[in-house]
Amino acid sequence: METFLQQLINGLTIGGFYAVVALGYTMVYGVLKLINFAHGDMFMWGTLTGWALLTTVFASFTDMDVIAILAASVVVLAFIGVMGMTIERVAYRPLRSAGRLSPIISALGAAFALQAVARNVSDARWRTYPEGLLAELPNVQLTGRVSLSGLQVLMLVTCAAVMIGLYLFVQRTRVGTAMRAVSLDHDVSRLMGINVNRIISLVFFIGPALGGLAGLLIGIYYGSFNFTLGWVFGLKAFIAAILGGIGNIPGAVIGGFILGISETMVVAYGPDIGLADASAWKDAIAYVLLITILIARPTGILGETVAEKV
Of residues 82, 151, 294, 301, which one binds another protein by CB under 8 A?
A: 294
What x/- string results for residues 2 through 31 when contact with another protein is judged by CB under 8 A? ---------------------------x--
- Asked if 66 touches another protein (CB under 8 A), the answer is no
The 3 state secondary structure assigned to the chain is CHHHHHHHHHHHHHHHHHHHHHHHHHHHHHHHCCCCCCHHHHHHHHHHHHHHHHHCCCHHHHHHHHHHHHHHHHHHHHHHHHHHHHHHHHHHHHHCCCCCHHHHHHHHHHHHHHHHHHHHHCCCCCEECCCCCCCCCCCEECCCCCEECHHHHHHHHHHHHHHHHHHHHHHHCHHHHHHHHHHHCHHHHHHCCCCHHHHHHHHHHHHHHHHHHHHHHHHHHHCEECCCHHHHHHHHHHHHHHHHCCCCHHHHHHHHHHHHHHHHHHHHHHHHHCCCCHHHHHHHHHHHHHHHHHHHCCCCCCCCCCCCCC
- Asked if 273 touches another protein (CB under 8 A), the answer is no
- Asked if 72 touches another protein (CB under 8 A), the answer is no
Asked if 183 contacts 14 with a C-beta cutoff of 8 angstroms, the reply is no
We find the least distance from the C-beta atom of residue 183 to another protein, in angstroms, to be 9
We find the least distance from the C-beta atom of residue 162 to another protein, in angstroms, to be 23
- Choices 50-58, 92-100, 128-136, 157-165; region in contact with another protein by CB under 8 A: 92-100
- Asked if 33 touches another protein (CB under 8 A), the answer is yes
What x/- string results for residues 119 through 158 when contact with another protein is judged by CB under 8 A? xx---x----------------------------------
Q: Residue 168 or residue 284: which is nearer to another protein going by CB? A: 284
Q: Residue 189 or residue 264: which is nearer to another protein going by CB? A: 189
Which positions from 235 through 264 interact with another protein, judged by CB under 8 A?
235, 238-239, 242, 246
Q: Residue 9 or residue 114: which is nearer to another protein going by CB? A: 114
- Asked if 271 touches another protein (CB under 8 A), the answer is no
- Asked if 168 touches another protein (CB under 8 A), the answer is no
- Choices 50-58, 149-157, 187-195, 256-264; region in contact with another protein by CB under 8 A: 187-195
